[in-house]
Structure 1
Amino acid sequence: MRTWIMKWNQISLVKRILVGIVVGIILALVFPGAKWIALLGTLFVGALKGVAPILVLFLVMAAISRHRQGQKTNMKSIIALYAIGTFLAGLTAVIVSFLFPVSLSLVTTSEELSPPQGIAEVLQTLLLKIVDNPVNALISANYIGILAWAVLLGIALRHAKEGVKEVIGGLSDALTLIVKWVINLAPFGVLGLVFDAITANGLESLIDYGKLLILLVGCMLFMAFVVNPLIVYFKIRSNPYPLVLTCLGESGITAFFTRSSAANIPVNMRLSEKLGLDKETYSVSIPIGATINMGGAAITISVLTLAAAHTLNIPVDFGTALLLSLLSTVAAAGASGVPGGSLLLIPLACSLFGIPNEIAIQVVAAGFIISVLQDSCETALNSSTDVLFTAAADRARKRKDGTAFLKKG
């Protein structure tokens, strides 16, 4: 048995996940009543979500506490890439929506939802999350609050004794090891997630929304394979596609099935380590990216809002649509890194066109109907880009440092 486990672990994680996908599909078609199989997916996502908050706290805290004065990091560059990528995602969605307008089949009823009533409320919510009780932030997976406390504790611990810093670092390393154990079970978790998705939802609910789904996924694919590679090329000045495909393959696949940027943080941490990135940087940039780097969310907000406007025959000039790109960028940064987090911000964008909240909520309900694939693709784009931009900034810095060294020599 031990020999079989060792051979299994020697196979590429991506290949093992693909095996899990195929087996999950076959089991869903042959044994649709075996609901216990879906438990594998529930346990896997639960394990990732359980370890992610405390992992983020200790990784960020340890990284900042060990940071030495004058030590270079890429955070400014990475944050700029996050902002540029999210804005271009919203702008891409606006342009594509103008070229290929779609209408919605709005439902007659909607769930009781509590979307933000304005940009002020979004900012207020963000501020309240920042000052949240640290214990409550960990329990509720409030990553903005966790990041705030991790940064404050890390700065305060800079003046602590080296022994204290070693303990914090040791706990961080232990949590990272636990994450590796969990990720090694990803093929079985994905198997359960695929089984659950097929048996619970099927594809029938997507038929009436096929055009909208194609538009959304098309925008996300365009971002993933055209716009993001261009951003990375201008940063690293070399072929970006090996890095792009690696990030999509090893981060995007698991994010597609977990449908949670927060749950995919451990996966991105592991990939960043594999790529040889600076731990002082990625241990901070990856959790921050899971919170504010939401290009897929910007696409969802823009496309669904313009679809609602088109359905209601509301004229939209390009200037207003451009403003929507900016609004979707800010709103996307406030979207939670959990399944469906971007949909509740659609009423905020709809308010830009005077669309009543009652109609906007119906648009949200339509979004939930197609969320089986939409949210999966959105999360795959969001999460894989966290590593992509972090790696691009890291390689750009190394290239710059190498050039400066050669000139000096």
Structure 2
Amino acid sequence: MSSNASSSLLQRYMNGNIVLQIIIGLTCGIVLAVLAPEAARAAGLLGEIFVKALKAIAPLLVFILVMASIANHRKSQQTHIKPVLMLYLVGTLVASTTAVIFSFLFPTELSLVSAQVSQKAPEGVGEVLNTLLFNMVDNPVNALTSANYIGLLTWAVGLGFGLRHGSQTTKNVLQNMADSVTFVVGIVVRMAPIGIFGLVASTVANTGFDALLGYSHLLIVLIGVMLFIALITNPLLVYVTTRQNPYPLVFKCLKESGITAFFTRSSAANIPVNMRLCERLNLDEDTYSVSIPLGATINMGGAAITITVLTLAAVHTLGIPVDFASAILLSLIAAVSACGSSGVAAGSLLLIPLACSLFNIPNDIAMQVVAVGFILGVVQDSAETALNSSTDVLFTAAACRRASK
């Protein structure tokens, strides 16, 4: 193939419809896993490289973009962070409360497993919030290398306000750095179809879905609640905010943010994807440069659903009587804990023992519930991340559109 032909093919790929390319990559990954499992496992390297590249660029993107945005912010400009934060808070509470209602309507009992969970679960809400506070004052260099987004946001905001008093030349350099990182992010994001091809091929080849069949009822409840939030309550919140038909925006966010988040299974890795989507939606950069990384750490509606549903499944399995008021208290604890789960390895699953302690469920039983969660993780964690990440863009866009009316 000539160099001109190769260049033309690459250009067509880079300018093509990325969603269509992702669907093609997804389909090819499944076909390869079915026809040639060994080759599919080897193709997993492509997925690992893609996710690693996203995770590598995301901390730098957040730090520089937030700092540059605040440093270059003019006093006359209005940002819309407060409405976005309110939507994040309300959305998470609605998600956890909806999970309680579904768990009562469709009670689930578990076949507990004895598998060992290597990670240590936090012992209380205080420990979660303590971790959150210490992450805020983490060494900025360590925060950058360890992808501690709470710490990155804290230092980026502080330095950004300090640099507002700097010279215009310094501000221009910051903006040029932000533009350069954004350019690199664009290239990495365009690799999504190839990365998702590798992720899907290796996942289907390695795990299949046989292990999920025994927990199909629980999985249906979990996914059902997440779909209800994504397609009913989130659009309702957007409609109340914008007074416009929310579904075109909802479907765009699910299609262009939710799909990649589903397969990367990382809200942090999906930050660059969400930033690019906000740019294409012509949203206010001063708003989304802060709200998107903030949402990746505190907007955890999917996590609140997982904590609530699995905890109440344990309650039903053990035959523990629970009134609706206690369940609503659980939803509040789940919402608060989910917002602080960014500093906890394995996120929502390791917060289940904390929630189970409200009903005096022994820790060894609670950790068996966590083990069930890990079995379901290939679908549960993917759907949870897709809901969390797509909602970050959805609520940011809603707040910006309301302000522009």
Output the TM-score relative to the length of structure 1: 0.96
Question: What's the offset of the Cα at 1:108?
Answer: 2.0
1:110, distance to aligned residue in structure 2 (A):
2.1
Could you tell me which residue of structure 2 aligns to residue 29 of structure 1? 34
Return the match for 1:274 from 250, 270, 280: 280
Aligned partner of 1:249 among 250, 255, 277: 255
Q: Within 1, Cα distance between the matches of 2:30 and 2:344?
A: 24
Residue number in structure 1 paired with 2:147 = 141
Paired residue for 2:387, among 381, 387, 408?
A: 381
8 Å Cα contact 1:340-1:375 kept in structure 2: no
- Deviation of residue 339 (structure 1)? 8.5
CA distance in 1, matches of 2:352, 2:89: 19
What per-residue deviation string (whole Å, max 9, x for no partner) do you get for residues 34-90 of structure 1?
Answer: 232110000000000000001100011011111122421100000000000000000
Tell me the equivalent position of 1:68. Answer: 74
Change over 3 Å in CA distance of 1:293–1:284 after alignment to 2: same
Over 3 Å off, 4+ runs: 337-340
**SS of residue paired to 2:118:** coil
1:201 aligns with 207
Q: Are 1:290 and 1:337, in contact at CA under 8 Å, matched by a contact in 2?
A: no
More divergent stretch after superposition (95-104 vs 354-363): 354-363
Q: Contact (CA 8 Å) 1:260, 1:338: kept in 2 or not? A: no
Q: Cα gap change, 1:348/1:338 in structure 2, threshold over 3 Å: closer, same or farther?
A: closer
1:20 aligned residue: 25
One-letter identity of the residue aligned with 2:220: I
3-state SS in 2 of match to 1:146: helix
Given residue 4 of structure 1, which amino acid in structure 2 is its aligned partner? L
CA distance in 2, matches of 1:24, 1:335: 32
Residue equivalent to 1:7: 12
SS in 2 for 1:336: helix
1:352 Cα deviation (Å)?
1.1
8 Å contact kept, 1:340–1:368: no
1:234 paired with 2:240, answer yes
Q: Deviations over 1:173-230 (max 9, x none)?
A: 1000000000111100000000111011101110111110000000000000000000
Residues 52-131 of structure 1 aligned to structure 2 (within 5 Å): 52-131=58-137
1:209-358 map, 5 Å: 209-336=215-342, 340-358=346-364
Residue type of the alignment partner of 2:118: E
Q: Which residue of 1 aligns with 2:3?
A: none
How far did residue 357 of structure 1 move?
1.3
Structure 1 residue 112: Cα displacement:
2.9
Q: Which SS does the other structure have where 2:261 is aligned? A: helix
Give distance in 1, aligned partners of 2:79 and 2:113: 49
Count of aligned pairs between the two proteins: 399
Residues 338/353 of structure 1: CA separation in 2 closer, same or farther (3 Å cut): closer
**Structure 2 alignment gaps of length 5 or more:** 1-5
Q: CA RMSD in A?
A: 1.1
Q: Which residue of 2 aligns with 1:47?
A: 53
Secondary structure, counterpart of 1:263 in structure 2? coil
- Do residues 178 (structure 1) and 184 (structure 2) align? yes
Deviates more, 1:68-77 or 1:37-46: 68-77
Give the secondary-structure state (helix, strand or coil) at the position aligned to 1:159.
coil
In structure 1, distance between residues paired with 2:366 and 2:195: 35
Structure-2 residue corresponding to 1:363: 369
Native 8 Å contact 2:132 2:343 kept in 1: no
Instruction: Output the CA distance in 1 between the equivalents of 2:10 and 2:76.
Output: 46
1:162 aligns with 2:175: no
CA distance, structure 2, for counterparts of residue 361 and residue 289 of structure 1: 28
Distance 2:397 2:345 in 1: 25
Separation in structure 1 between the aligned mates of residue 344 and residue 189 of structure 2, nearest angstrom:
18
Unmatched 5+ stretches in structure 1: 400-409
Provide the rounded CA distance (Å) in 1 between the counterparts of 2:346 and 2:26. Answer: 22
Taking a change above 3 Å as real, the CA distance of residues 24 and 339 of structure 1, as seen in their structure-2 partners, is: farther
| SS of 2:347 mapped into structure 1 | coil
- Please state whether the residue corresponding to 1:107 is helix, strand or coil: coil
CA drift at 1:337: 8.5
**1:305-331 deviations in Å (ceiling 9; x for gaps):** 000111111111000111111111101
Residue identity over aligned pairs, in percent, reads 59
For the residue of structure 2 that corresponds to 1:71, the secondary structure is coil
Please report how far the alpha carbon of residue 341 of structure 1 lies from its aligned counterpart in structure 2 after TM superposition: 1.7
| Structure 2 Cα separation of the partners of residues 340 and 30 of structure 1 | 32
2:344/2:350 contact within 8 Å kept: no
Is the Cα contact below 8 Å between 1:293 and 1:382 reproduced in 2? yes
What residue identity is the alignment partner of 1:346? I
CA 1:31–1:338 in structure 2 vs 1: closer, same or farther (change >3 Å)?
Answer: farther
Closer/same/farther in 2, CA of residues 118 and 143 from structure 1, 3 Å limit: same
- Cα displacement (A) at 1:113: 2.4
Query: Equivalent residue for 1:407?
Result: none
Q: Distance in 2 between matches of 1:339 and 1:275?
A: 33
